[in-house]
Structures are given as structure tokens and as C-alpha cells.
Chains A and B, each alone.
Chain A
Amino acid sequence: DTAVSQTPKYLVTQMGNDKSIKCEQNLGHDTMYWYKQDSKKFLKIMFSYNNKELIINETVPNRFSPKSPDKAHLNLHINSLELGDSAVYFCASSQRKQNGYTFGSGTRLTVV
């Protein structure tokens, strides 16, 4: 059983479009995250949600809007996609105050 699953795995879209990436975890963790990995493989935190409440928003453009309908889900919606948004986006989860994040397998977003 997949612990953290995100869909789609690949997403190719044109500039200006709006797209969503979904994430679900079945580990019972209370905190979920979105990370962006650029072409140099640098992983940067975007958002963190604890029990559906936003606790970290790292200077991400307003075009990115996370939504957490419940503890097990954290979706990422992106408006007006730009070329610079092309990257691999990773969802992760953890149990607060415990070490170790579990990552999904990533969504490769390509904006053309």
C-alpha cells in the first residue's frame, strides 16, 4: 500500500492554464507538506499544514493555493501557470514532533 500518493505523476500544460495536483497519505500523520524540486535537485518547502491548518507559507506566489479538506489530503492548485513553475513537486507527511518525513513519488510539471 502506498503511504503518500500524489497524482498525476506527469503534467504537461500550456502557459496561463490552471492545474491541480492531489496528495493523499494513509499513515495517520497530522502534518503534510508541499516541496518544489528544481532542475538542480534543490528541494524547497512551499507549504506546511497541520491538522488542516496552514502553518508554513514560504514566500510562494499567490498563484499557488493549497487546500486541505482533511488531515489525509493536501492538494495544490496553481493558477496562470508560468514557464518558471516547471519543476517536480513533492508531497510529504510527518507526525508533528517526530522525526522523519515520508515523501510521495513526485509530480513532474512541465509548462510549455
Chain B
Amino acid sequence: TQLLEQSPQFLSIQEGENLTVYCNSSSVFSSLQWYRQEPGEGPVLLVTVVTGGEVKKLKRLTFQFGDARKDSSLHITAAQPGDTGLYLCAGRSISNFGNEKLTFGTGTRLTIIP
């Protein structure tokens, strides 16, 4: 069973601080996605990283895929209250039959205090 562990599970910081969320697994994934979910809504895709070692930036958010494609990190610079939400990593894998599956991480609930 593929498992994606995120840390920390909960994070509450002051506006303007930096933070990093980690997503770790013992499985290799063909790609890794990050989603943000707000209360009462479904997850919304932020980014997809595909190549081992790949780094992608989305304004103040920096995403990195591990060299071995087993782990990923999300770094937020100068956090703002609008960054508050549940952050989910998700690993994409493809079975021998060509069926793809997206396995979600355990989630990080981020609260930015104004």
C-alpha cells in the first residue's frame, strides 16, 4: 500500500514568516501534485512536478520533487493569511495494466495569523 506522510500535520505561524511542508513516501511516483483545500470545497491543484529534482515556483510558493521521486516539499515565503488552508500532496502511479491512480498524503493544515 502506497503511503504519503506529510509533516507537520498542523502548522500555525505569523504573517510574514517562512515555512516548509514535507511529503515523504517509500514509493516512487511518476509525478507529484500539490493541492490546497479550503473549508467546504474540494482540493484545487496548485502544481505538478514530474522530473526528479524538479523545482517549480508559483509566486511565493516553491515546490520541489526529490531526486528519487519519492518525496516533495512545499516552501512558502512571507506567508499571508490567504495561504491558510489544508495542503495535500498526491503521488501519481501507473499500474502494470496502464491504470493510473492518485494517492493523497495525510495533509497539512496551515493557519497564518495576521
Contacts and interface: CB of A to CB of B under 8 A. Distances in A.
Contacts of A103: 42-44
A100 B33 CA distance: 8
Q: Is the interface of A mostly helix, strand, loop or mixed?
A: strand
Given A41-B86, A41-B109, A101 B102 contact: yes
Contacts of B44: 103
Contact of B88 (A43, A45, A97): A43
Interface residues of B, number: 24
Interface in B59-107: 86, 88, 90, 92, 99-104, 106-107
B45 interface: yes
Interface of B: 31, 33, 37, 40-45, 48, 50, 86, 88, 90, 92, 99-104, 106-107, 109
